[in-house]
Amino acid sequence: MDEFKQILLERLVKGGADPSSLNSILKALSKLLAADPNIDPAAANERLHYLGWHEVEIDYHTLQLALACLEMENGHHCSIIDGQDRRRQAMRLQDVEIAPSP
């Protein structure tokens, strides 16, 4: 977990976040993801900018990493939103191999 969180923090700093504001940015980001785990990067950036984090730019991979860290911190193997995590379901479906029809 610490390794993933460290990578997340490094990505946030690389995306323009002030290192002294990381805890506050993580809190805002976790609230965004808790409200909508399927949020796209453009909408996440718009909401973060609205909240005053104008220097932060989030990409898809950073959102995925933040969502994974949030789930691990909360001790859930499933979604924060109790079974409505379409991303996790889609990932499981991609892993299933379909046998060719005879």
User: pTM to 2 decimals?
Assistant: 0.66
In the chain, domain spans: 2-95
User: What's the CA gap between 63 and 49, in Å, rounded?
Assistant: 15
Query: In this predicted model, what pLDDT tens digit does every residue of 48-84 receive, in sequence order?
Result: 999 998 999 999 999 999 998 888 877 644 333 344 4
Residue 45 or residue 94, greater confidence: 45
Instruction: Give, in order, the Cα–Cα distances in Å from 87 to each of 13, 49, 54, 74.
Output: 25, 25, 27, 18
* CB proximity list for 57: less than 8 A, separation 6 or greater: 15, 16, 45
